[in-house]
Structure formats: C-alpha cells, structure tokens
Chain A
Amino acid sequence: MLSNDEKIILFIVAGTLMLLLLGLFIIGFLFLYQKKHNGYIAEQRELKSFYNQELLKTKIEVQEQTLHYISQELHDNVNQILSFVKLNLGLTKNMGPDQKQVKIEESRELIAQAISDLRGLSQSLNSDAFTTRGFIASIELDLNRIKKSGILDTSFAVDGEPQELGEQRELVLFRIFQESLNNVLKHANASSLAVNLQYSAEMITLTIEDDGNGFLANGAGEQGLGLRNIKSRAALIGAQAEILSEPNKGCCVKITIDPLIEQKYADSNYSNSVG
C-alpha cells in the first residue's frame, strides 16, 4: 500500500510526464503544420511555373499567328501586286506615249498600295504589337483581315465601358479568340462570324458565334485539341469557357471572366493595359 507522500510523488511524476507529452504534442503539431505549409508553397510554385509556361506558349502562338498572316499577305497580296506591276511595265515597250503614261500611272498606284500594305505588315511584326494596340484593337484588326480576304463576313460589337483586365489575362483571352477563329476558318465552313465583347461591372463576356456546320458539343471526350485548349486556357486566367453547338446550327464560344478577381499567378510583373 502506498503512503500519502508516495501517492503525491507518483501524481507529480505522472503529471510531469503528461505536461511533457503536451509539450511534445505542441511541437509535433508545429512540424505537421510546417509539412502542410511547405507542401502548399511547393504546389503554388508549381502552378505559377505552369502559368508562366502557358503564358510564354500563348505569346509564341500569337507571334506565330502574326507571322503566318504576314507570310500569307506577302505571298497573296504584295507578291501579286508587284508581279502585276512588273507585267505592266513590261508591256510598255511596244506602247505609244499616252498608253505608256497610263500604264506607268497605274503601276505607280499599285506600288503605293504595296508600300501601304508593307507598312501595315511591318507594324504587325513589332514584338509588342499586342501591348501597343491593346485587346480590343487586336481583335478588330484580325477580324478586318478576315473580312478583307472575303472568306467570311465578320461583325464586331463592344457593349459597355471597356475595363482593364491586365496584359497577361488579355493576351490569353486574345489567344482564345484567335484559336476560336482558326477553328471557324478550318472546320466550320461558315459564311459569317459575329464577335461580341460585353463589359459589365461584375463580368466580361466574349462571344464568338458562327453560322457554320456546327457539331455535337456535348460529346464528352470527343472534343478536339483546339476546344480543349480553349477551356484549359480560360481556366488558367480564372475564366469560364462555354461551347454551344449543334449540327448545322453553327457554334458559339462564350468566355466569361470576373474582372474583379485578380489572377493569383499573374501578380508578379503584373501590368495593366487599357483594352
């Protein structure tokens, strides 16, 4: 049988052990938190790195698109004009002075047109062309090119007061637009394309609608790489992509983004440009 003193000592020993265990629990909790925190930081860094990679890819794709357009323009437009001028000038050998003058005048006008086209193309080659032009003007320019080529009848409308989204997010949004445009040109067999940009305080909505062949938009897993890219890119900037289509009823790509939510991976060197 334990004496009263021994009971107290036993109580103190047990109590001290309990207190030390409490201390160990506190330290253990701290290490658990450290592990969780470091895991979170690693995940954030990975996401940021992924975002930066995607952004870089987007920039390269926008530049590639521009280069493709320039190559087409040089081949189909400037090259044709200059060949025509060459032909005109070659014909003047056997012409009288009045006819010669007419042909020379005609060639002069054609050369002026070629110079103007080349000037426009050189502006497109500028690496900061998107930043300089801005989001809305870049969309407008691309649509005008398509309209000018006569492939599609295009229309563009901007509703509401344009808001800043930040250069990086605008660039990704612009690339989504270009990707949708490519899809229409390659697969839709459409005759008209309507682009609508709607600004409100809570939401920015970009709608790209064509009257082409359409497809079964609900066919999960059957969507092409282009459509999957549109969705993943939209998710990257915190936007939602909706693709509505039915066979023979055209296709509508709708991108909605909340301008108030800052994209968390785009906060470093985040520069805003007026759209």
Chain B
Amino acid sequence: MFYEFGSLYNWFTVNHSNAWITNITITIFFVFYSWLLNSILKKFKRPTGTNNLVVLFILILTVVTIFIQGFWILDTYAILAQFIWLVILTCTFFYRTINEPTDQKIEIIKLPDFWINTGLLFFCLAEFLFYASYAYMAMRKNYHYYVFFVVISNIANLILYSSLAISFVCFRTMRR
C-alpha cells in the first residue's frame, strides 16, 4: 500500500525514477512468497530441501542487484531470477501434490495452498517477458510498451489477489 501510494504521488522519485523502491518491494515480495511457498512445501510427508537453496539464491540476488546492474535502476536480472525461482517452487508444489501418497479423495479446488500457488504461477508467467524486455524497451521509451505493461501488470495483479482471496475463503471453510 505504502509503495503503491508513494509511486502514484511520486514520493520515491530519485533522478526521474522510482526503480530503487521497486527493487526493494519486489525483493520483499520474493522473500515473503518464497517463505510462504517453502512453508507450504514443508507440509508434505517427504521434505523438499529447498530452504538452503533459497538462502543462497537471495544472497546471489543481493550481490547481483548491488554490483552488476546497480541500485538506482530496475534490476531485471534479479527480478527474472526471482520469478524463475517462484515458478520452480509452485511447480514443485504441483508435482508433490500429484505424488503425495494418499488414500483419501483429493479436491484441489478446495485447497488454499493450490490457490496461492496458482495465483503466483500466473503472476510470474504473465510478468516474466515484460521484465525480460524491460532493459531494452525502457531505453526506447515506447508508449505502446507502457500501455502493454499497465494492462499486463493489472491482469497479473488481478489474478494474484483473486487467487489469494479465494485461498482465504478456502482456508476459512477448512477451519469450520
């Protein structure tokens, strides 16, 4: 909320860009969702052992952010790597769901974890190519690209937050 309002009213603009706060926000987004997905994966009977990899990954991303691309511009490499990692975690969840031995009937649609993972998967896939092309297209200052970004970003956010809302509903239903 703070970031969204700040971006709307140019609170964080430094040298005509708020990329630095976007870097921080996306890293927080990544850390939070990595932690969330890891705790979901821990629920499975066999541990996945992804925790150590996440710590290593965050360290590498920090180094990339500070030394390679720089703090004041959008660190697309780090963002792409974060998205790839989140997609890997969501796919791991789906794979484990399929391979978890159970003698009970499964109703995936009623699982809160399924909705969290689905929302994140579509969010990362939808925004992936935008961030992949950002470094090049930002230099071109193309208006169509800006419109395209707004549309894609809004759709991705809609998918993510709708999925999270459904997961909360499922969670409440499960607790009853």
How far is B156's CA from A116's CA once the two chains are assembled, in angstroms?
A: 87
B122 at the interface (CB under 8 A from A): yes
- Whether, in the assembled complex, A202 has its beta carbon less than 8 Å from a beta carbon of chain B, the answer is no
CB-defined contacts of A12 to chain B, threshold 8 Å: 129-130, 133, 148
Chain A contacts of B114 at CB under 8 A? Answer: 30
- Compute how far the CA of A162 lies from the CA of B107 in the bound complex, rounded to whole angstroms: 46
Is A38 in contact with B106, judged by CB distance below 8 angstroms? yes
- Complex contacts, B126 vs chain A, CB 8 Å: 16, 19-20
Does B105 sit within 8 A of A, measured CB to CB?
yes
Whether A9 contacts B129 in the complex (CB less than 8 A), given A20-B122, A26-B91, A44-B103, comes out as no
A16 touches B108 (CB 8 A): no
Chain A residue at smallest Cβ distance from B145: A9
Q: Quick one: CB contact mask for B59-94 with A, threshold 8 Å, 1 for yes?
A: 000000000000000000000000000000001001
Question: Do A30 and B108 have beta carbons less than 8 Å apart?
Answer: yes
A34 near B94: Cβ-Cβ < 8 Å: no
- Knowing A8-B137, A41-B103, the reply to whether A15 touches B129 (Cβ < 8 A) is yes
* Bound Cα distance A13, B118 (Å): 21
Q: Is the interface of B mostly helix, strand, loop or mixed?
A: helix
> Which residues from chain B contact A15 at a C-beta distance below 8 Å?
129
Q: In the complex the two chains form, is A9's CB within 8 Å of B108's CB?
A: no
Chain A residues closer than 8 Å to B52, beta-carbon distance: none
Asked if residues A26 and B94 are in contact (CB atoms below 8 Å), the reply is yes
A22 to B104 CA separation, bound complex (whole angstroms): 28
For B108, give the chain A residue with the smallest CB separation: A34
Distance in Å: Cβ of A233 to nearest Cβ of chain B: 25
Whole-angstrom CA separation of A40 from B105 in the bound complex: 9
| Interface: B160 (CB within 8 A) | no
On chain A, the number of residues with a Cβ less than 8 Å from chain B's Cβ atoms is 23
Nearest A residue to B103 by beta-carbon distance? A41
Complex contact B144–A9 (CB within 8 A) = yes
From 26 to 81 in chain B, residues with beta carbon under 8 angstroms from any chain A beta carbon are: none
B152: chain A residues at CB < 8 Å are 16
Kindly name the residue among B97, B105, B145 whose own CB sees the greatest number of chain A CB atoms within 10 A: B105
Q: Are A26 and B145 in contact (CB under 8 A)?
A: no
- Which residues 14-32 of B have a CB within 8 angstroms of A? none
Question: Does B136 sit at the interface, judged by CB under 8 A?
Answer: yes
Chain A residues with CB below 8 A from B148, complex form:
9, 12-13
Q: State whether the Cβ of A247 lies closer than 8 Å to any Cβ in chain B.
A: no
The contact of B104 among A13, A30, A41, by CB within 8 Å, is A41
Assembly CA distance A15 to B114 (angstroms): 25
B172 within 8 A of A: no
Cβ-based interface call for B140 (8 A): yes
**Is A270 an interface position by the 8 A CB rule?**
no
Seen from chain A, the residues whose Cβ lies within 8 Å of a Cβ on chain B are 5-6, 8-9, 12-13, 15-16, 19-20, 22-23, 26-27, 30-31, 33-34, 37-38, 41-42, 44
Given A16-B130, A19-B129, A30-B108, 5 further pairs, Cβ under 8 A: A16-B126, A19-B128, A20-B125, A27-B121, A44-B103
17 A-B pairs within 8 Å (CB atoms) are namely: A5-B137, A5-B140, A12-B130, A16-B125, A16-B130, A20-B125, A23-B122, A26-B91, A27-B94, A30-B94, A30-B108, A33-B98, A34-B108, A37-B106, A38-B105, A41-B104, A41-B105
